[in-house]
Amino acid sequence: MRIAIIGSRGIPAKYGGFETFAEGLSTRLVKNGFEITVSCEYEPLESRIAEFNDVKLEYFPFKPPKNYFLRMFYENLSDIYFLIKLTRSHDLIYFLGIEVGFFLFIPKLIKNDIKLLVNIDGLMWKRTKFNKFARFLLKLNHYFATVFANTIITDAEEMKNYIPDIYKNKAVYIPYGVELPKLIPWTNKKVKNYDKIKDISTNNYWLVVARLEPENNISTIIDAYSKFTTKLPLIVIGEYTSDKYKKQIDRIAENSDNIIFLGSIYDLTTLDMLRQNCFAYIHGHSVGGTNPSLLEAMIMKNIIIAHDNEFNREVCGDLGIYFTDVDDLINKLDLIENNFSSYIKLKEELHDRAKEKYSWKDINNNYIKLFEREFGE
């Protein structure tokens, strides 16, 4: 069975949740006899690799623009390009996201018996970084994605509530997966911007790993931490998607000397080391389904303070500690820092929950069963 995975920036993963997922799923499926192709954004010819762990890679031929909003159109054009290019040579298209939902009729025009699966991801139209017209288009594309898909994949049970009733019978819940980590000894000299954390040792910092944008509640987290009386620093890993938002965060953090922004880090060993050795983890995502970064924090045995919404509660259950706003977060930070021993058991229980509910082995097997069902095998 020849499967094309379209909609991420490509693999190896160097950006966000879809990339992490595309790498995790594709590299496992090839070991089960599937022929997998993953679409990738532009790379110079000298940097391109034809395969990654036996997964075939296809590259978009044009460079991405530096402007963030122009990049959105670039990514849409890239998705349409790959829908056209890869349909003829594949039996099934697995499309990640809904941004070009209106154009998901294309595979059926090219190849009548093609199977189209769509992972509808999160609530893209609720992201305030987009203007009202863009959010309207995203909502419209979300609808058309559910119309054209043979099967709709949700990575959280709660996402089924956002599928039109007439198409709910096409929905299948399969979450993201997470692997048991290798233990990585503390060696902060290998971290990018080492000079910022050279005095930090294991288990004496709070951690955030996220794209730095409004829907991940970065301003709430930074505002709360800047007002919170603590000797522990907060390490923030991630990149901004807006210069305007960066200026807003800089203003909030300007009077705090214990918030450390390290930028984006894609080296998995470094990320895992920082996750494994933090005091506790703060997760602000609010409009996604199941976030890979949350699963990774759970499997690393972290105490987790998460934004209070249906998606995070579905993942963490009653083992997470939830916040709603700045004052509430300050109270939760204070509660954990001054009563740490009372929360240690949660670390093990969150780890066990991730291992039992989000095992990559089970997720991979569920996808194999789904693909075989699509072809009546």
Domains identified in the chain and CATH numbers: 2-177+359-374 (3.40.50.2000), 188-357 (3.40.50.2000)
What beta strand segments (E) does 159-275 contain? 171-173, 206-209, 234-237, 259-263
104 Cα distance to chain centroid: 22
Element (H, E) at 68: helix 68-87
Taking only the tens place, the pLDDT of each residue in 304-329 is 999 999 999 999 999 999 999 999 99
Mean pLDDT of 22-50: 94
pLDDT at 15: 76
pLDDT at 294 over 80: yes
Segment 351-366 mean pLDDT: 95
Please tell me the predicted confidence (pLDDT) of residue 6: 97
Q: Exposed, middle or buried by CB within 10 Å (0-12, 13-18, 19+), for 82?
A: buried
State mean pLDDT over 89-106. Answer: 94
Residue with tokens 């040579």: 89
The DSSP bridge partners found for residue 93 are 4, 116
Query: CA 208 to CA 211: how far, in whole Å?
Result: 10
CA distance 305 to 285: 11
Q: Greater confidence, 13 or 275?
A: 275
The chain-wide mean pLDDT, for the chain, equals 91
Please tell me the predicted confidence (pLDDT) of residue 336: 95
| Residue 36 CA to its chain's centroid (Å) | 21
pLDDT at residue 201 in the model: 86
Mean pLDDT of 233-239: 94
pLDDT of 299 reads 96
Instruction: Assess whether the previous peptide bond of 44 is cis (omega < 30° from 0).
Output: no
Given pLDDT bands bounded at 50, 70 and 90, which one contains residue 33?
A: very high
Residues contacting residue 138 through CB under 8 Å, at least 6 positions apart: 98, 99, 124, 125, 127, 130
Please give the span between the terminal C-alpha atoms of the chain, in angstroms, as a whole number: 11
pLDDT of residue 189: 78
Is the pLDDT assigned to residue 68 strictly greater than 80? no
Q: Which residues fall within 8 angstroms of residue 222, CB to CB, at 6 or more apart? A: 234, 236, 249, 252, 253, 256, 259
pLDDT for res 332: 96
Picking from 183, 249, 167, 180, the residue whose alpha carbon sits closest to that of residue 216 is 249
Q: Which of these ranges, 74-78, 118-122, 165-169, 174-178, has the smallest mean pLDDT?
A: 118-122
Say which amino acid occupies 110: I
Q: Is the pLDDT of residue 265 over 60?
A: yes
Handedness of CA 34, 39, 43, 45 (dihedral sign): positive
Q: What is the largest CA-CA distance in the chain?
A: 62
3-class secondary structure, 204: coil
User: What average pLDDT does the segment 209-219 reach?
Assistant: 93
| Per-residue pLDDT at 377 exceeds 70 | no
pLDDT at 107: 95
For residue 264, what are the contacts with CB-CB under 8 A and spacing of at least 6?
237, 238, 239
pTM: 0.90
Q: How far apart are CA 125 and CA 140, in angstroms?
A: 9
Q: What's the rounded mean pLDDT across residues 98-119?
A: 94
For residue 2, how far is the Cα from the chain centroid?
25
Contacts 24+ apart (CB under 8 A), 161-166: 162/120, 162/123, 163/120
Per-residue pLDDT at 334? 94
Question: pLDDT at position 262, please?
Answer: 93
